[in-house]
Amino acid sequence: MTDAPLTLFNSLTRQPEAFVPVHSGEARVYSCGPTVYNYPHIGNMRAYVFADLLGRVLTWKGYKLTHVINITDVGHLTDDADQGEDKMEKMAAARSQSIWDIAEHYTQAYWADIKALNIRQPAEWTIATDYVEKMIAFAERIAPKHCYELDSGLYFDVSTVADYGRLARAVTEDGEGRIEAVDGKRNPQDFAIWRKTPEGETRQMEWDSPWGKGAPGWHLECSVMSGEVLGFPFDIHTGGIDHREIHHPNEIAQNQAFCECGGSGSMSLAEAANSGARIWMHNNFLVERSGKMSKSSGEFLRLQLLIDKGYHPLAYRLLCLQAHYRSELEFSWDGLGAALVRLKRLLTAARNVVDAAPDGAVLADTQTIVTHQKLAPLLEKFDAAVSDDLNTAVALTVLEEAVAVKKVDQAQKGALVAAMMSALGLPLIAREDLRIRPKDATVTEGEIAEAMEQRKAARAEKDFAASDRLRDELAAKGVEVMDGDPLGWEWKLPAA
């Protein structure tokens, strides 16, 4: 049975809540996408592994999922509040390239990582610059009651909505809040929803508006794209935990203004939540020993670097799944290596289970097919784990139990394992495909295979001198021969 109630931690109320869809049988989810001014780092990708997992669990629970992720190609300043330059303009100037080229290049790089991590395609990728007209219309609607104009742009007056910053307070209570005062603002937390191009300057990206030439504010973009595609209120809004501080409180304020709910006095939490998304969910950071991994700080790890070193990208996915999404996760190469070993064992065993199942069994409906007394409790345990605010650490161990369970119906076992793998986004790829040659390897897979064949023949003839020589030659090229490996691996490269 997969009927454990789905509970998700809502950052807005700071407690786990039962998921009750706005539209019966459906789940509508919006995830803040990347600002495409640079390559995504693996910390950014944790946010999308999390959003993908959430979507997969909603699908597992039987909801019809509509997931939207945006691409921010304009408007995100170097500081999340109103300080600094537009990240896209800054990178384009540094590279002497057009913003459009920068955006195209890094969007493609991001999509390559999405694919490599087996993140499902959302129903829609909304590109911020495609929505500028709608952003202007949204701003025009809320401006009379909620905004004021300064020389630098159109600002949102946060005192015009009830309960501004409730989401952020979770952070400020911990002493992490930081909103700087800027000249001319009525309240320090007021933010630009339209930034005017300063007189005498031209920006690469600018549009005409009732407030002059300029560009939309980053917060406005997400309010407009989420509301436009999913309709207010929708079910779940996701992002990294840094968005809980400024970006999401500002989106909420705009949504409240747009929906004309509240205005003065206090608003109930339910109303506040209804003014945008019902549930706001945030993944915690991927950190290194030196602190949060960050694009803006210059040095960061890209997924491609992991691949170049010989790690399959799905090892990184597994690393993320081993931790709870709300916990900080510290990256280490040892940790990634351990995740790769676990992944190999799991995928090899799962592949065997699914191959042993009769044709069609893995496509059958798990709920109706899994009745075996040893398997049904595992289905229930797995369902309870993922339904408990996406407890993937436990779900993974249940999957490993299911893969190992003996003397059970093969069809049922195949269906169960395939369904669990799919819910966690682990594809059933052949173990050979998990082996990646590091970029700096001096030997090809074909050469390794040939040497291994020769070695096998030498051993069959009991020519141990030749066998040892071949092993040493491979070792000199950085290939370790693995005799007697429990999983039957014949060789490995140093990183893997």
Ligand X SMILES: Nc1ncnc2c1ncn2[C@@H]1O[C@H](COP(=O)(O)OP(=O)(O)OP(=O)(O)O)[C@@H](O)[C@H]1O
20 class by beta-carbon count within 10 Å (0-12 exposed, 13-18 middle, 19+ buried): exposed
d(CA 2, CA 415): 14
Q: Is the separation of the CB atoms in 320 and 342 below 8 Å?
A: no
Contact region for ligand X (CB under 6 A) — 17-25, 119-127, 290-298, 383-391? Answer: 290-298
Q: Which is nearer to ligand X, 147 or 318 (CB)?
A: 318
Beta-strand runs (E) in 164-320: 191-196, 214-216, 234-240, 277-283, 286-288, 291-292
> By CB under 6 A, is residue 55 in contact with ligand X?
no
Structure tokens at 168: 């952020």
Q: Residue 361's Cα: distance from chain center in Å?
A: 31
Residue 9: count of CB within 10 angstroms of its CB: 18
Residue 381: count of CB within 10 angstroms of its CB: 17
| Residue 142 CB, nearest approach to ligand X (Å) | 24
| Residue 282 CB, nearest approach to Zn ion (Å) | 12
Q: Is the separation of the CB atoms in 303 and 347 below 8 Å?
A: no
Among 21, 34, 233, 414, binds ligand X (CB under 6 A): 34
Provide the annotated binding site for Zn(2+). Answer: 32, 222, 247, 251
> By CB under 6 A, is residue 117 in contact with ligand X?
no
Which residues, other chains included, contact 177 with Cβ-Cβ below 8 Å and sequence gap of 6+?
Answer: 168, 171, 245
Contact region for ligand X (CB under 6 A) — 173-181, 195-203, 289-297, 353-361? Answer: 289-297
The binder of 222, among ligand X, Zn ion, none, by C-beta within 5 to 8 A per type, is Zn ion
Among 285, 325, 331, 382, binds ligand X (CB under 6 A): 285
Q: Which is nearer to ligand X, 21 or 165 (CB)?
A: 165
| Residue 244 CB, nearest approach to ligand X (Å) | 9
| Residue 28 CB, nearest approach to ligand X (Å) | 18
Task: Using CB under 5 A, list all residues that contact Zn ion.
Answer: 32, 222
Q: Is 163 left (phi over 0), alpha (psi -120 to 50) or beta?
A: left
Q: Which is nearer to Zn ion, 72 or 392 (CB)?
A: 72
Among 292, 326, 342, 437, binds ligand X (CB under 6 A): 292
Q: Is the separation of the CB atoms in 162 and 268 below 8 Å?
A: no
Among 2, 10, 11, 35, binds ligand X (CB under 6 A): 35
Residue 214 bridge partners (DSSP): 196, 207
Q: Which is nearer to Zn ion, 222 or 346 (CB)?
A: 222
> By CB under 6 A, is residue 46 in contact with ligand X?
yes
| Residue 64 CB, nearest approach to ligand X (Å) | 24
3-state secondary structure of 334: helix
> By CB under 6 A, is residue 295 in contact with ligand X?
yes
Which residue carries 């509508």 as its tokens? 28
Contact region for ligand X (CB under 6 A) — 2-10, 38-46, 180-188, 304-312? Answer: 38-46
The binder of 425, among ligand X, Zn ion, none, by C-beta within 5 to 8 A per type, is none
| Residue 298 CB, nearest approach to ligand X (Å) | 10
> By CB under 6 A, is residue 294 in contact with ligand X?
yes
Picking from 327, 355, 396, 305, the residue whose alpha carbon sits closest to that of residue 116 is 305
d(CA 27, CA 29): 6
| Residue 267 CB, nearest approach to Zn ion (Å) | 22
Peptide bond preceding 216 in cis form (omega within 30 of 0) = no
> By CB under 6 A, is residue 286 in contact with ligand X?
yes
Q: How many residues bind ligand X (CB under 6 A)?
A: 19
> By CB under 6 A, is residue 242 in contact with ligand X?
yes
Picking from 231, 281, 255, the residue whose alpha carbon sits closest to that of residue 26 is 231
Q: Is the separation of the CB atoms in 193 and 154 below 8 Å?
A: yes
The binder of 162, among Zn ion, ligand X, none, by C-beta within 5 to 8 A per type, is none
d(CA 366, CA 451): 44
Q: Which is nearer to Zn ion, 32 or 102 (CB)?
A: 32
Query: Where along the sequence are the contacts to ligand X (CB under 6 A)?
Result: 32, 34-35, 43-44, 46-47, 239-240, 242-243, 283, 285-286, 292-296
